[in-house]
Structure 1
Amino acid sequence: MADRDDAPLADPVPPSPAEPAKTAPPRRARPRWLTIVLRVLLGILVAIFLVWAILFVTKGRFLKHTFEKIASSSTERQVRVAGDFQFYFNPINLKFLAEGITVSNPAWAGGGNFFEAKKLDSSTATLTFLFGKRRINWVALDGARVDLAWDADHRRNSWTFGDPNAKGEPFDMPVVRQAAVTNSGLRYSDPSMRLLANLRFHTVEAKDTKFASAIRFDGDGRARGTPFTLTGALLSPDATLAGGRTQLALTVRAVDTVATVSGTLPEPTVLEGADLNLDVRGRNLANLFLAAGMTVPDTRRYHLASALTKDGEEWRFTKLKGTFGDSDLAGRFSVFQREPRMLLTADIATRRLDIVDAAPFIGYNPDKVATQGKAGAVTQVAGRPRLLPDTPLNVDALKNFDAKVEWTVQQVRSKNVPVSNIRLGLSLEDRLLKLSPLNFTMARGSVRSDISINARRSPVFTDYDIRLTPTPMGRLLAGFGVAEAGTSGTVSGRVKMTGSGNSVHDSLASANGRIAFIMPKGSFWTRNVQLSEIDVGTFVQKMFEDKLKEPVQINCGLIGFTVRNGVAAADPILIDTQKNVMLGRGGFSFKTEAIDLAFRADSKKFSVFAGQSPVGINGYFAKPGFDVISPELVGRAGVGLGLAAVATPVGGLLAFVDVGDAKAAACGPVLAGATAKAQRTTKGKPRDDVGQGTTSKEEDGKASGEEKKTQRKKFLGIF
């Protein structure tokens, strides 16, 4: 045993030279700056986690007073939370709960609260809350009240926080994905628009992450003095926190107007990109636009439908189609909400426009015209009939918006006015209204107009420029006894005037300018009486010889008036025919609408039975009269009877003989539309039978009795 214990140990086996010993590679040192960064990031993550943990455990209740202080300072409003307060991450989204929260109104609003709620409970996406558009995943409100208000100058509003004197910003509604609202309401007021609305939200219950029922609401208010009510609902029973489009159903009623809006919204509180349909009907379309602060002509009962969407500050009404009265309407229009005035743009078309529906465009009541016909356009003023409309332009409404409108009409339904192919270009900029062009086809001719209505001045100042291109008289006057067959004459004309007044009547009653209608060479034929050949002897002779169907051959003609302060005086009326020269004197008044015109035809050839008596047109625009048996004719008949008594019956005829000394007219000045002073005979001599382009003083009641007698003698008893 001892020998075994004392035996020497065997030598270790040396390593094989073919397998050298393995050594670990040296470790590469980490840069110091990277170590610092990692430690900082780790510290931040730990701090965030600690903050999250503290907030999650405490629910952030200890931040209540800090929240009130910061919110009050940043909004420059008093923000208070009377009850429970929670603010924490749950787990990523921001959870906010406040009971008895109030946010005061700015001082100019007169006190009260901009927002208050018994309970506000919400979950908001953290990143969008901090860096982008606010997106609230869900919100629960109980006993909430919101007061949205503009000041009287429409410069400040209650939802623009910070400096209370800062210009109000447009309302920016946060995106709300889902909501539960109970016992809550909203108030909106804008004194400058005379708009007040109150909304009440019905109780809405939520179940899990889905709506158990729709969000329903109703309300009432007044728009520019017109009361209205509304009811509606957000129909999203299947909308989840993942989002989805929301169905909207809204009905608004005001007086005789009912408007319904239906379709889908991208989010319950997002109108941008909405796909909606509008259906509106009522008694007068003007009432609807007036409630929005804009003015359009009155209409009869209407029904319109269109697609509706919102793009930025622009509301677009497309695929418009409907009727007003017995006329149709189609096209599109938009309303752009901008400062300082809204902009209305429209491109609309009408296939058939009933003449009754066009009555309001110049100030007539379409309902009266529809039921009473022509009599519906006439009113009685101081015992005299008035035809020119006296409806004033709504200048106040023109202050609220600008407009650019294109309107085309294919055909006008009318018995006596052959009008078609209307094209209207309307522009309104800061109360300057221009109808340019206002063109239409009339009896194979065309009327081209440029009318400027300047409501920047008081009273309104209007510039009229209306031009009639050569138009066949046969078709133009077909409804007034003129036959197309046998009438080859044409007429062209121009009305160039300016006037001041807020209605058509007042504007024309103060007008100054010129009216002229020119007839070049052609023929003229009427079914009943040759109005261009007023010579009574010629008419009787033709009647006995059965030559009523023989057209009158016109060489040239001019019916011209100079208008001064609303009174139009013949300047001149001169029509040269193959056998006669027709002259006219007198005029008419836009002020009283009285007419006092006299026409006579002097024969170029010897004529027996020539009464040489003028035919008078008198009365008023609404009720003109004709005076064929004038004092001159009665006097001449008396002379004839006297001659027949003391001489022979043949001698009595001498009182009715026309020696045929009428002076033919030089057609150059006539066709140029020149005034009476520029008219000449064919021999180049000034005419002394066409007046001086003025009416007598008799119209103003300034002439004495003797002066009136002298004036009547000057032109055949009229004027």
Structure 2
Amino acid sequence: MDFPPKTVPPQEKAADPAEEQPVGAESATETPSTGRRLSKPWRIARNVVLGIIGTIFLAWLILYITKGRFLKHPFERTVAAMTHRAVKVPGDFQLYFDPINIHFVAEGMTISNPAWASKPNLFEAKRIDTRIATFPLIFGNRRIRWLDMLDGAIDLEWSKDRKSNTWTFSEGKGKPFEMPLIRRATVSGTTLRYVDPRLQLSVDLAFQTIKASDTRFENTIQFTGKGMERTTPFTLYGAMLTPNATVTNGKNQLEMHIKAARTAIDVSGTLDAPTRIEGANLKVTARGTNIADLFSIIGVAVPETRSYRLDSALTKVGDEYRFTGLKGHFGDSDIGGTLTVAMLEPRLKITATLATRTLDIVDVAPFIGYNPDEVAARGKAGVIKQVGGAPRLLPNATLRVESLRNFDAAVQYKVRSLRAKSVPVSNIDLTLGLDNSLITLSPLTFDMARGHVSSDIKINARQRVVHTDYDIRLSPTPMGVLLAGYGVDEAGTSGTVKARIQLTGDGDTVHESLSTSNGRIAIIIPAGSFWTRNVQLSELDIGTFVQKMFEGKLKEPVQINCGLIAFTVRRGIAAADPILIDTKKNVILGRGGFSFRNESLDLALRADGKKFSLISGQSPVGLNGYFAKPGIDVISPQLLTRAGAGLGLTLVASPIAGILAFVDVGDAKSAACGPVLSGATARAQRTTMGEPRDDVGHGTTAKAEDGKKTSGERKEQRKKFLGVF
């Protein structure tokens, strides 16, 4: 059965475009549809962007209309959470975009300090009005386009351990303070406080009104202030002469003047940042009446000086303040070199290399405890004090033990020559160390009269009572050169001398230390010659002296075989042990001693002839008085007794009998030079025959423990000193 063909409805035919359109027509129909409609992801992205822009605009509009005043409390909470500080704005508050930059206004705003700080707030201001560049801030760059601050107060303070500071909000080591970039500003009534416990420094600065526009300050930034360094108050004033360098990341030209403790300090140069001395290039000039005042500002004890002036370059590297190219003068002496102050724990440390071309003798005075101004004004009298009616020469300046605990030191000091009339000293070389209150002057060397002195001195201030060890050595030195300033004829003296002083004592002054000292002093004289007149005066060999005087041979030298002037020191009392000088014609012997306690002298010297002498006093010469005022007793009681005996014999017998009272039979025993030249004690001394000497080692010294003697004791002492011969 045949069926008729199926008829397809027209609407169904239209639904099959493949059948209705020829091949290649698809692209022609789809392309216009894509240009009119976005795919679904693109439509979502578009809507999100439009939503964000709308939201931002809406937020901007709301903020602009309301000035963002409703954000005050969220701002306080957010900033407080980020900084871990309390943030308060009790007055007007504005925070909005104007139109792009952030416009911030706060009245009475405060940001608190951490609990350890000494001030409650890091920052406070009566009013602050500022515009901050938005996009640079997103990347961590603070660019302030406008700043208007009234009655601001900033507190910059380091913690005691110097690990934290008030302006570093994150945990970890405190960072240096960095100024933001400011394009325009007006700042008035602003103060800044800086505190550094390690330096024991606090300073309060007040700034004059500062105006800036178009990245340039309209005037210099001037400031005044006052502060305290340890226990020393100071004042200062200064200015940043090129403040526009701050906003261009350039160098800041600084000029500052400080006055403290009779000291004036001028600072000029450039800083990388206004509050950063790291890497600075500064010039410092310090001047005053006493350099000890300058160093006392940082708690460092140095000897006092006369007026001084020092110039130096200054920079800071890490914990070190470096003074280089240092040059200047103190008193009539010059000085130069380098000095570094390192802020270390537990004590700061001073390292210095210093040199002086010419050191004036007056400027040496404070190094051993004398007042240089008194020495300069009064000469020798300036070092003598009256104590209990007696003159005192040894310095009594107290060692500053407390100051020594504040620092350590390593100092190298050299002096080319010493300016002095009677002291032929040059090439001084001192190495000073200070380690936890232990001072070492080791070595301390210098040349003296073509000889050399080397010393090692140790002062231990770690214990309750300061203890000092002295070891001073003089190499063989020509006596003529050494004593030329005291009237000895160098041409007639060829002998040499060497010496050693070894003492230990307790006390915080030179006088106290020596007053309690124990040890030995020895001066050794090898073979040589000495000017006749000086020896003859000590011998009182009248016949020989007069004979040589009439013969015109007054300066004929006396030949010395060997000699030893030695003292054993016990509790500050020195006893001759021995005094023994062997010459070609005589043996000179000495008894007695001296006291470091009251600085008294009580010595007797006598010469016994080796040959017969017709007229000889045969009587000791007394050396008495004090270190500061010695006396010579040429006419001793023994000589007067001999003169009386001679006069009596002359009257009752004959003139010849009177002369016999002054005859010296010449029985002196020559000394064995071996023990003498080795500096041996009196007990070890021998004659040339090898026999023990019985004419040395029997002297006595002052008995009084307190350095005072009664009139009867003095007479008894004198009798013993001069009567043992």
TM-score greater than 0.5 by the shorter chain: yes
Q: CA deviation at 1:702?
A: 11
- Once the two structures are superposed, the pairs formed by residues 635-654 of structure 1 within 5 Å of their partners are 635-654=641-660
Instruction: Name which of structure 1's ranges 415-424 and 247-256 shifts more when overlaid on structure 2.
Output: 247-256
Equivalent position SS for 1:278? strand
Q: Distance in 1 between matches of 2:537 and 2:75?
A: 92
Q: Distance in 1 between matches of 2:659 and 2:147?
A: 106
Q: Does structure 1 conserve the Cα–Cα contact (< 8 Å) formed by 2:602 and 2:625? A: yes
Q: Does structure 2 conserve the Cα–Cα contact (< 8 Å) formed by 1:350 and 1:408? A: yes
| 1:115 partner letter | F
Q: Does structure 2 conserve the Cα–Cα contact (< 8 Å) formed by 1:148 and 1:157? A: no
| 2:601 partner letter | I
Give the TM-score taking structure 1 as reference length: 0.85
Aligned to 1:369: 375
Instruction: Tell me which of 341, 352, 357 is aligned to 1:351.
Output: 357
Does structure 1 residue 568 correspond to structure 2 residue 570? Answer: no
| 2:124 partner letter | E
Q: Structure 1 residues 224, 85: CA separation in 2 closer, same or farther (over 3 Å shift)? A: same
Q: Structure 1 residues 328, 94: CA separation in 2 closer, same or farther (over 3 Å shift)? A: farther
- Once the two structures are superposed, the pairs formed by residues 366-515 of structure 1 within 5 Å of their partners are 366-515=372-521
Equivalent position SS for 2:548? helix
Does structure 1 residue 337 correspond to structure 2 residue 343? Answer: yes
Aligned to 1:19: none
Does structure 1 residue 310 correspond to structure 2 residue 316? Answer: yes
Q: Distance in 1 between matches of 2:543 and 2:428?
A: 44
Structure 2 unpaired stretches of 5+: 1-22, 28-40
Instruction: Tell me which of 620, 630, 634 is aligned to 1:624.
Output: 630
Q: Distance in 2 between matches of 1:510 and 1:292?
A: 33
Q: Deviations over 1:115-158 (max 9, x none)?
A: 3222346678999989999898986543122345678x778987
Does structure 1 residue 256 correspond to structure 2 residue 262? Answer: yes
Aligned to 1:520: 526
Does structure 1 residue 697 correspond to structure 2 residue 703? Answer: yes
Aligned to 2:87: 79
Aligned to 1:3: none
Q: Distance in 2 between matches of 1:656 and 1:46?
A: 134
Q: CA deviation at 1:351?
A: 0.5
Query: Matched residues, percent identical?
Result: 59
Equivalent position SS for 1:205? strand
Instruction: Name which of structure 1's ranges 565-574 and 408-417 shifts more when overlaid on structure 2.
Output: 565-574
Equivalent position SS for 1:143? strand
Q: Does structure 1 conserve the Cα–Cα contact (< 8 Å) formed by 2:522 and 2:566? A: yes
Q: Distance in 2 between matches of 1:391 and 1:411?
A: 26
Equivalent position SS for 2:598? coil
Q: Structure 1 residues 572, 54: CA separation in 2 closer, same or farther (over 3 Å shift)? A: farther
Q: Distance in 1 between matches of 2:272 and 2:706?
A: 70
Aligned to 2:599: 593
Q: Distance in 2 between matches of 1:150 and 1:240?
A: 24
Aligned to 1:11: none
Does structure 1 residue 172 correspond to structure 2 residue 201? Answer: no
Instruction: Tell me which of 600, 612, 615 is aligned to 2:621.
Output: 615
| 1:678 partner letter | A
Q: Distance in 2 between matches of 1:127 and 1:503?
A: 69
Q: Structure 1 residues 346, 240: CA separation in 2 closer, same or farther (over 3 Å shift)? A: closer
Q: Does structure 1 conserve the Cα–Cα contact (< 8 Å) formed by 2:333 and 2:356? A: yes
Q: Distance in 1 between matches of 2:136 and 2:540?
A: 88
Instruction: Name which of structure 1's ranges 183-192 and 498-507 shifts more when overlaid on structure 2.
Output: 183-192
Q: Structure 1 residues 586, 82: CA separation in 2 closer, same or farther (over 3 Å shift)? A: same
Structure 1 unpaired stretches of 5+: 1-14, 16-21, 23-35
Q: Distance in 2 between matches of 1:358 and 1:121?
A: 62
Q: Deviations over 1:388-433 (max 9, x none)?
A: 1111111121121111111111011000111110111111121111
Instruction: Name which of structure 1's ranges 256-265 and 572-581 shifts more when overlaid on structure 2.
Output: 256-265
Q: CA deviation at 1:716?
A: 2.4
Q: Distance in 2 between matches of 1:431 and 1:262?
A: 35
Q: CA deviation at 1:467?
A: 0.9
Q: Structure 1 residues 240, 542: CA separation in 2 closer, same or farther (over 3 Å shift)? A: closer
Give the TM-score taking structure 2 as reference length: 0.84
- Once the two structures are superposed, the pairs formed by residues 281-292 of structure 1 within 5 Å of their partners are 281-292=287-298
Q: Structure 1 residues 600, 206: CA separation in 2 closer, same or farther (over 3 Å shift)? A: same
Aligned to 1:664: 670
Q: Structure 1 residues 242, 530: CA separation in 2 closer, same or farther (over 3 Å shift)? A: same
Q: Structure 1 residues 169, 689: CA separation in 2 closer, same or farther (over 3 Å shift)? A: farther
Q: Distance in 2 between matches of 1:445 and 1:132?
A: 70
Q: Distance in 2 between matches of 1:417 and 1:97?
A: 76
Instruction: Name which of structure 1's ranges 215-224 and 246-255 shifts more when overlaid on structure 2.
Output: 215-224
Q: CA deviation at 1:480?
A: 0.9
Q: Does structure 2 conserve the Cα–Cα contact (< 8 Å) formed by 1:613 and 1:633? A: yes
Q: Deviations over 1:461-505 (max 9, x none)?
A: 111111111111111111111111121111111111111111111
Q: CA deviation at 1:308?
A: 1.4
Equivalent position SS for 1:638? helix
Q: Deviations over 1:60-80 (max 9, x none)?
A: 766543453355456654332
Q: CA deviation at 1:171?
A: 7.1
| 1:679 partner letter | Q
Q: Distance in 2 between matches of 1:421 and 1:286?
A: 25
- Once the two structures are superposed, the pairs formed by residues 579-590 of structure 1 within 5 Å of their partners are 579-590=585-596
Q: Structure 1 residues 70, 548: CA separation in 2 closer, same or farther (over 3 Å shift)? A: farther
Q: Structure 1 residues 684, 124: CA separation in 2 closer, same or farther (over 3 Å shift)? A: farther
Q: Distance in 2 between matches of 1:704 and 1:414?
A: 40
Q: Distance in 1 between matches of 2:142 and 2:529?
A: 79
Computing the radius of gyration from Cα coordinates, the structure with the larger value is 2
Q: Deviations over 1:141-197 (max 9, x none)?
A: 43122345678x77898737789xx9x966732244447532011334678977553
Instruction: Tell me which of 673, 678, 682 is aligned to 1:676.
Output: 682
Aligned to 1:159: 166
Q: CA deviation at 1:109?
A: 5.7
Q: CA deviation at 1:254?
A: 2.6
Q: Does structure 1 conserve the Cα–Cα contact (< 8 Å) formed by 2:215 and 2:244? A: no
Q: Structure 1 residues 516, 655: CA separation in 2 closer, same or farther (over 3 Å shift)? A: same
Q: Distance in 2 between matches of 1:685 and 1:337?
A: 66
Q: CA deviation at 1:289?
A: 0.7
| 1:585 partner letter | R
Q: Does structure 1 conserve the Cα–Cα contact (< 8 Å) formed by 2:314 and 2:321? A: yes
Q: CA deviation at 1:225?
A: 4.7
Q: CA deviation at 1:325?
A: 0.8
Aligned to 1:12: none
Does structure 1 residue 216 correspond to structure 2 residue 222? Answer: yes
Q: Deviations over 1:274-305 (max 9, x none)?
A: 11111121111110110121111111111111
Q: Distance in 1 between matches of 2:188 and 2:523?
A: 73
Q: Structure 1 residues 240, 701: CA separation in 2 closer, same or farther (over 3 Å shift)? A: closer
| 2:152 partner letter | A
Q: Structure 1 residues 704, 619: CA separation in 2 closer, same or farther (over 3 Å shift)? A: closer
Aligned to 2:15: none
Equivalent position SS for 2:494? coil
Aligned to 1:265: 271
Q: CA deviation at 1:48?
A: 12
Equivalent position SS for 1:356? helix
| 1:102 partner letter | T
Aligned to 1:65: 73
Q: Does structure 1 conserve the Cα–Cα contact (< 8 Å) formed by 2:578 and 2:697? A: yes
Aligned to 1:25: none
Q: CA deviation at 1:693?
A: 7.1
Q: Structure 1 residues 335, 712: CA separation in 2 closer, same or farther (over 3 Å shift)? A: closer
| 2:658 partner letter | G
What count of residue pairs does the alignment treat as equivalent?
680
Q: Distance in 2 between matches of 1:563 and 1:135?
A: 77
